[in-house]
């Protein structure tokens, strides 16, 4: 990826950790642009090249998936999905190359190993502070399940399964890790100076 004209930042981490909230706060302060990777995935969901990966979870029975798939395998599936849709994500990022305003790219599919290899700009990882917070946020804005049981299974997957793996990968590749968006705000402002 070539050098961007303006400042860039990526925010990744577990669902419900406050990535979108943090991106919106920073963008509002800096008159920038917020690109949510979920929107990119939605736009490519019918593209034959990406359909398998975009719809990976939607094509499964949620309860069965959470009950029968280990956290390690769930992480492998997220890695495979992220790598599968990465060309579309990278293309979208490159489309902002000449934008002089701050652009923040935010989403779960920006895994630290992909960022390190392809992105010439900084990023952070938000991993959530407690299971209770993750569960409450998942109930307010459920990613997948419509029942309390499924929301709890999802929150367990995010917090106990994905959280330690995001943290380990971020530390391996040198990206700062924060538990909450509020904790990340001042360090991000420093990164962008």
d(CA 80, CA 71): 14
Number of domains within the chain: 1
Q: What is the pLDDT of residue 23?
A: 97
pTM listed for this prediction? 0.94
Strands in 8-13's sheet, in edge-to-edge order, are: 33-36, 103-106, 8-13, 123-126, 177-178
Looking up residue 176, the CATH number of its domain turns out to be 3.40.50.300
> Is residue 1 one of the residues assigned to a domain?
no
d(CA 85, CA 183): 30
Provide the domain limits for residue 173: 8-192
Using CA of residue 96, residue 116, residue 17, residue 65, what is the dihedral sign?
Answer: positive
> Is residue 18 one of the residues assigned to a domain?
yes
Angle between helices 131-140 and 148-156 (to 10 degrees): 140
d(CA 8, CA 68): 39
Residues 16-71 pLDDT 10s: 999 999 999 999 999 999 999 999 999 998 999 998 888 887 778 889 999 999 99
Residues 119-155 pLDDT 10s: 999 999 999 999 999 999 988 876 666 789 999 999 9
> Is residue 3 one of the residues assigned to a domain?
no
């Amino acid at each position: 990826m070539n050098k961007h004209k303006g400042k860039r930042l990526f925010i990744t981490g577990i669902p419900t950790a406050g990535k979108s909230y943090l991106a919106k706060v920073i963008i509002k302060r800096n008159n920038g642009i917020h690109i949510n990777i979920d929107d990119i995935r939605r736009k490519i969901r019918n593209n034959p090249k990406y359909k398998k990966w975009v719809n990976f979870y939607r094509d499964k029975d949620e309860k069965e998936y959470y009950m029968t798939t280990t956290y390690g395998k769930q992480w492998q599936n997220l890695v495979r999905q992220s790598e599968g849709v990465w060309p579309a994500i990278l293309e979208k990022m490159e489309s902002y190359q000449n934008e002089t305003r701050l652009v923040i790219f935010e989403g779960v599919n920006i895994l630290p190993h992909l960022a390190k290899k392809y992105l010439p700009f900084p990023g952070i990882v938000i991993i959530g502070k407690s299971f209770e917070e993750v569960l409450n946020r998942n109930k307010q804005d459920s990613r997948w399940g419509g029942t309390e049981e499924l929301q709890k299974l999802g929150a367990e997957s995010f917090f106990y399964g994905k959280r330690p793996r995001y943290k380990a990968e971020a530390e391996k590749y040198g990206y700062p890790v924060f538990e909450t968006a509020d904790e990340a705000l001042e360090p991000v402002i420093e990164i962008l100076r």
